[in-house]
Structure 1
Amino acid sequence: MSVLQSRPALRWLVPTGAALAIIGGGAAVGTFASAAEPNLPERSAAQLLVDLQTAHLDGLSGTVIKRADLGLPSLPGIGGRGSAELTSLVSGTHTLRVWHAGPDQTRVALLGTLGETDVIRNGKDVWIWDSQANKAQHTTLDESGPTGRPDHLPTTPQEAAEQALAAVDPSTEVRVGRSASVAGRDVYELVLEPRDATSLVGQITIAIDAVEHVPLRFQVVPQGTSKPAFEVAFTRVDFERPDPAQFAFNPPPGAVVTEGTRPEGRPALPTGVEQPTVVGSGWTSVLAAKVPQLAGTTNAETDGAEANLLRGLLGGLPEVNGEWGSGRLVTGKLFTALLTDDGKVFVGAVKPERLYEVAQSNR
């Protein structure tokens, strides 16, 4: 099982003769790890990228801690349990147990104070189990079906690393950081830094197991600080193949079981909302979408429950304007969102100026 089998494009990063600079137009590559404990053999960034691409494992299990402090603003007009649960997905600290024995045998358990929520794939069968509610949903995949897991923030360092490495291009500086210890294992640290100061990302660090070449920790550090705003890391890891029983789920007596359906294509969007498009590439790419429901909601004369809800959401956000028009701005440590008065949304891990530039080009 290739650890980064979905990232075959990494091969072009490391040409024969890895002493040459990698990343097509000249991203600088730090040559060797600096002296630090533990004392590991020297490895170049190019060698670590090859390690990630070629590592193979029979299986993996362990405990993962995920921390997120994205600086989400408090939005007026939003409250209740549902919103709290939504916010918890992108903030706070969460503990997960993970098991992996190949792409068709995976299990992730989100541990809570009163129970746990599990997502289990075993071949074509996918179960989502809520122990607190004693409810289970089952879905059967076809041969081309997805993993059955909804879009989410990464739950393991491997998933996070794959997403980050997809952004490696000439706009990225790649170097080796200090060696360290994660989950009791020696690791090398691979550092990715955007060259464009428009990005809100200061650097991404990937701690790579010195023996198994698997990412054990992933951190995203915003510009201007040394504290990660997002981190996912193993606190315990075992590279033995998990027992098949970990992937065999049988609902307990009394559980409410529903049969789910595999979504076909992209999920349906609200009436009038167009599929988002991506403007630009790499670190400074921006997601752009038209949301007609936003148009005119700041106008007090606009009636209706939907308009009142949106007005409550947007009313507490700072107003901004420019040649592109006017709207409201949402800012966090690793993202910025611009909601224009004419019903457009622009979101990216970039400074506001980049969103204004994209908004101007999309007038």
Structure 2
Amino acid sequence: MAPYESDDSTTAAEADDLRAGRRKAARYVVPVAVVGVAAATIGLVPALADSGDPDLPKISAQQLIDKIAKSDVQQMSGTVKITTDLGLPDLGGLESSLTSGATKSGDGSSADPTSKLTELATGTHTLRVAADGPDRQKVSLLENAAEYSLIHNGKDVWGYDSQSNEVYHSTAPDNAAEQKKDDVPATPKDLTEDALKAVDDTTSVTVQGTAQVAGRDAYRLVIKPKQSGSTVGQITVAVDSKTGLPLKFTLTPASGGAAVIDAGFTQVSFAKPSASTFTFTPPKGAKVTEDSQTDHANGHFEGSLKGDDKTGKSDKDLGKGPDGLNVIGKGWTSIATFDTGGQGMPSGSEAGGQFGGFLDSLGDKVSGKFGSGTVFKTRLINALITDDGKVYVGAVSKDALVKAANAG
């Protein structure tokens, strides 16, 4: 891997340290890492305006990365904001109809955390967050006339939707702290660490000035593809100069314009939150739904697959797709591909109704040596699904997907 770039020339020793540091981390395929970053940011944190350029001691990219790695903030609270602009079309009534359909089918209640993800997929949202060690966290999504809260306190995980007065309850597994390491990233620190795992010789990492975020002095770490052809322009992380905690995460597209994801604290305190912050009792008259699958509550869906699949495939096999996952290319322009073993996505006329119109608004019909298919686009991730069920996905252009399919 090539050395990180910094404002100063990088020495050979620093380059060795950088290579060693990267080998210690689990490697992520770049498209998967970028998708994870996007999904995770949608799942928790926030957009914020930084201001000022504080005068801080000079620091190299490697030193700042080390500072992030050593950061161990256990107690904090604050207000966060997230602005997400993936370039998705207006869902209109589709989102609500899909959500209501899931509820009617008995999949859960409006207090189930998974039912809130679609709300965070676009637009600007404000959250309050608090943490006191690995066993106590709280995230509250502030809405117009209501509030949704997700509370983890010891063995209990509670979700509460004040608008519907519904409660969701599950039990955290005994090894929750260890399992959390494999979860989709849920904080600016997690997002930054996962972004750095994707760094190799196709990536430039530099320190570019300073900023003030939520009243805290911070360094600006910039992660940028060296390759052309990626939809990712750059990732900018504001890192707290004292604690090393990432305070803001911004992903901008190569196409320019507004950030795809702009996430960060607008207010933060590192004082110990009150114990009452994590105390929850279902309000009188609230409908309480107990989740019988603990793994589902904690982002681990494998448990629901074990023993129930009649094909004989393990949960790991199912996660890889029928014919497994292959990677074409390298770095930020790599493309993940797999075969669903079935038909491609239906056209709008075949799907019918709102869903058909939604598919048409997302997709572009394409053809080539591979046959024909549909490219589904966002400002970050594009995917080609061929009519015979092969999938090509990456943070690359439509033309790159078609080229990969033709070569495949």
Q: Normalization by structure 1: what TM-score? A: 0.79
- How far does residue 82 in structure 1 lie from its aligned partner after superposition? 3.9
Deviation readout 1:210-264 (Å, 9 max, x if unpaired): 1111111000011142632211110000011212221221111111112102236
Residue pair 1:274, 1:290 contacting (<8 A) in 2 also: no
Deviation readout 1:175-222 (Å, 9 max, x if unpaired): 001201110111100000112212211100010011111111000011
Report whether the alignment pairs 1:169 with 2:200: yes
- How far does residue 286 in structure 1 lie from its aligned partner after superposition? 3.5
Alignment partner for residue 335 of structure 1, among 371, 381, 394?
A: 381
Deviation readout 1:134-162 (Å, 9 max, x if unpaired): 111111122234779x977x654223213
Please list, as runs of the form range in 1=range in 2, the aligned pairs for 1:187-336 lying within 5 A after superposition: 187-225=218-256, 227-260=258-291, 261-263=293-295, 265=302, 268=305, 275-276=320-321, 277=325, 279-280=327-328, 282-291=331-340, 294-295=343-344, 297-298=346-347, 312-316=357-361, 317-336=363-382
Paired letter, 1:50 = D
Q: What CA distance in whole angstroms lies between the structure 2 residues aligned with 1:133 and 1:291? A: 38
What SS does the corresponding residue of 2:199 show, helix, strand or coil? coil
- How far does residue 265 in structure 1 lie from its aligned partner after superposition? 1.5
What SS does the corresponding residue of 1:114 show, helix, strand or coil? coil
What SS does the corresponding residue of 2:228 show, helix, strand or coil? coil
Deviation readout 1:67-106 (Å, 9 max, x if unpaired): 0111113579x72524587653211000011111222211
Provide the aligned length of Structure 1 versus Structure 2: 336
Paired letter, 1:44 = S
What SS does the corresponding residue of 1:339 show, helix, strand or coil? strand
Residue pair 2:156, 2:169 contacting (<8 A) in 1 also: yes
| CA distance 1:271–1:91, change in 2 (3 Å) | farther
Residue pair 2:189, 2:245 contacting (<8 A) in 1 also: yes
* Percent of matched pairs sharing the same residue: 37
The residue that corresponds to 1:81 in the other structure is 96
What SS does the corresponding residue of 1:319 show, helix, strand or coil? strand
The residue that corresponds to 2:174 in the other structure is 143
Q: What CA distance in whole angstroms lies between the structure 1 residues aligned with 2:310 and 2:96? A: 26
| CA distance 1:296–1:246, change in 2 (3 Å) | closer
Please list, as runs of the form range in 1=range in 2, the aligned pairs for 1:33-112 lying within 5 A after superposition: 37-74=53-90, 79=94, 81-82=96-97, 87-112=118-143
What SS does the corresponding residue of 2:221 show, helix, strand or coil? strand
Q: What CA distance in whole angstroms lies between the structure 1 residues aligned with 2:274 and 2:15? A: 44
Q: What CA distance in whole angstroms lies between the structure 2 residues aligned with 1:48 and 1:279? A: 31
Higher share of residues assigned helix: 2
5+ long unaligned stretches in structure 2: 23-51, 100-115, 296-300, 312-317
Residue pair 1:73, 1:332 contacting (<8 A) in 2 also: no
- How far does residue 298 in structure 1 lie from its aligned partner after superposition? 4.0
Higher mean C-alpha displacement, 99-108 vs 45-54: 99-108
Alignment partner for residue 188 of structure 2, among 157, 161, 164?
A: 157
Paired letter, 1:341 = D
| CA distance 1:112–1:322, change in 2 (3 Å) | same
- How far does residue 169 in structure 1 lie from its aligned partner after superposition? 2.1
What SS does the corresponding residue of 1:178 show, helix, strand or coil? strand
What SS does the corresponding residue of 1:51 show, helix, strand or coil? helix
What SS does the corresponding residue of 1:334 show, helix, strand or coil? coil
Alignment partner for residue 147 of structure 2, among 116, 128, 135?
A: 116
Q: What CA distance in whole angstroms lies between the structure 1 residues aligned with 2:194 and 2:84? A: 16
Deviation readout 1:284-342 (Å, 9 max, x if unpaired): 34343444664483497x7xxx6777754444432111122211112221111212111
Residue pair 2:342, 2:388 contacting (<8 A) in 1 also: no
| CA distance 1:310–1:250, change in 2 (3 Å) | closer
| CA distance 1:50–1:313, change in 2 (3 Å) | same
Residue pair 2:200, 2:331 contacting (<8 A) in 1 also: yes
What SS does the corresponding residue of 2:302 show, helix, strand or coil? coil
| CA distance 1:353–1:252, change in 2 (3 Å) | same
| CA distance 1:312–1:58, change in 2 (3 Å) | closer
Paired letter, 1:125 = D
